[in-house]
Amino acid sequence: MTALNRRQNTVETLQLRVTETEDLTAQIRKIVLKQAEGLPLPAAKPGAHIRVHIGGAFDDTRAYSLLMLNDHSTDAATHLQYEIAVKREDAGSGGSRYMHALNVGDTLVCDRPRHDFKLEPPDQTCAVLLAGGIGITPIFAMAGALSREGRPFHLHYAGRDRSQMALLNELAVIAGENLKIHLDQQDSQLDINAILRSMHADQHLYVCGPAGLLDTVLAMAKQAGLPATQVHFELFSNPAVSASTDSFQVRLAQSGKTYVIPPGKSILQVLQDHGEDPLCDCCRGECGVCQVGVLEGEPDHRDYVLSDAEKAQGKLIHICVSRSKTPMLVLDM
C-alpha cells in the first residue's frame, strides 16, 4: 500500500455516482457526480478540488477541481452535485483515459473537497485570474464567485486555439469585457509581463496551468516585485522528474537503508517501490506533505513550497520532485 493510499484510508471518502457526462471539447469531458438518494454533498468553495480514487489497475488517485456554476438555483450551488472537467491525456499514465471511459451510473470513490487554492477574503481589490489550458477549471469557479459577489476581476485565459479551450461561452457571460483570450502564435498571445505591469501594488494574482506557465509566471512576478503573499497558484500537470542523466543515492538515517535514485524516477517513487511508506499527497511539489529533513548532502530543489532562503539552507527536501546535487543524500526518516 502506498503512502498516498495510507493517507486516504484515514480520510472520509464519498461514494459518488456519475449522473451526466458532456464533451466540452474533443479532449475535455465534463462529469457530473451525485451521492446516492440525492443526499447533499460537503460544501465546497471556489478553487476546491476532490481526489478521485482510480480503480481497476490504478492504485492511485487523481485531483480534479470543482466547477461552480454562476446560477444559484443549480444543484452545484445547493451542494447536491459536483462537476469536474477532465482532459484526456493519451500519453499520460492512464488516469484521464479511465475517467473518460466512465458511463452514467458508474460509481467513484472520492475524498472530500480540499481548499488548497482559494480566493482571499472579500474586498474590492481587483483580482487578476490567469489560466492555461485545463487550468481554467478552478479559475472558472473563482470567476463565477467574484461575479456573483460583485467583486472586480480580470480573467486571462490562454490556449493553443479556441477549439481546445473549454467553457468559453460560459466565461463570456460571467466575465464579459473582463475576459481576455490569448491564443498561441497570434497577436493575442499571452504577455505575462504586460499583465504584471498593469497590476497595482495591492492586487492579488491567481494562476493555474501547466508547469511551464507556472514557472514563468512565478519568476516574472518575483522580478516585478509582486509579494509572494499576493501570488496564488495551482499546478495542473506533474513536472518532469529530472532533466539530469545522473543517478544518486539516498540513505534513510533511521533505518540505515540506502537506495539508488535513477534518472526518471523520484525519491518518493523509489522508496515506495521498496516498500517504504513516506507521506505524500500532490506528487507535484506543491502541497508540502512529503517534506523531510536533510542531514547530509545538497538537495536540488524542484518544489513550489520552500522559500529561496529555505532552499539555500538545504535542510529540507520535497521527495516527490526534488533531487540531489551531491552523490549522497542522508534523510531524516
pLDDT digits (tens, 9 = 90+) for 295-329: 999 999 988 888 888 999 999 999 999 999 999 99
- CATH 3.40.50.80 fits domain 127-235: yes
Confidence (pLDDT) at 151: 94
64-92 core/surface letters (b: 16 or more CB in 10 A; e: else): bbbbbbbeeeebbeeeebbbbbbbbeeee
* Cβ–Cβ under 8 Å, residues 87 and 28: yes
* C-alpha grid cell, residue 288: 508540502
pLDDT tens figures, 201-253:
899 999 999 988 999 999 999 999 999 899 999 887 655 555 556 899 999 99
12: confidence class by pLDDT, cuts 50, 70, 90: confident
Confidence (pLDDT) at 11: 57
| pLDDT surpasses 60 at 44 | yes
User: What is the average per-residue pLDDT within 129-143?
Assistant: 96
User: What is the average per-residue pLDDT within 254-267?
Assistant: 92
Is 232 buried (19+), middle (13-18) or exposed (0-12) by CB count in 10 A?
Answer: buried
The model's pTM: 0.80
Give which of 237, 235, 265 is closest to 249, Cα–Cα: 265
| Rounded Cα distance, 51 and 202, in Å | 33
* Cβ–Cβ under 8 Å, residues 221 and 195: no
17: confidence class by pLDDT, cuts 50, 70, 90: very high
> How far are the Cα atoms of 114, 117, 121, 179 from residue 233, in angstroms, in the given order?
14, 7, 16, 19
> How far are the Cα atoms of 9, 122, 124, 127, 171 from residue 152, in angstroms, in the given order?
41, 10, 7, 6, 15
| Rounded Cα distance, 320 and 291, in Å | 9
Confidence (pLDDT) at 236: 75
Confidence (pLDDT) at 196: 96
Confidence (pLDDT) at 238: 56
* Cβ–Cβ under 8 Å, residues 163 and 193: no
Alpha helix positions (H), the chain: 3-9, 95-100, 136-149, 168-175, 192-198, 211-223, 267-273, 308-313
pLDDT tens figures, 47-76:
999 989 986 444 578 889 999 754 444 555
CATH superfamily entry for domain 3-111 = Translation factors (2.40.30.10)
Residue, of 257 and 2, whose pLDDT is higher? 257
Specify whether the backbone of 275 is left (phi greater than 0), alpha (psi in -120 to 50) or beta: left
Confidence (pLDDT) at 281: 78
User: What is the average per-residue pLDDT within 183-197?
Assistant: 89
Confidence (pLDDT) at 237: 63
Q: Which CATH class is domain 248-331?
A: alpha beta
Going by C-beta distance under 8 Å and a sequence separation of 6 or more, which residues neighbour residue 233?
A: 117, 206, 207, 208, 214, 217, 218, 304
For 54-63, 114-123, 164-173, 276-285, which range has the lowest pLDDT when averaged over its residues? 54-63
Annotated domain spans of the chain: 3-111, 127-235, 248-331
Given the DSSP bridges, would you call strands 248-252 and 328-331 parallel, antiparallel or unpaired? Answer: parallel
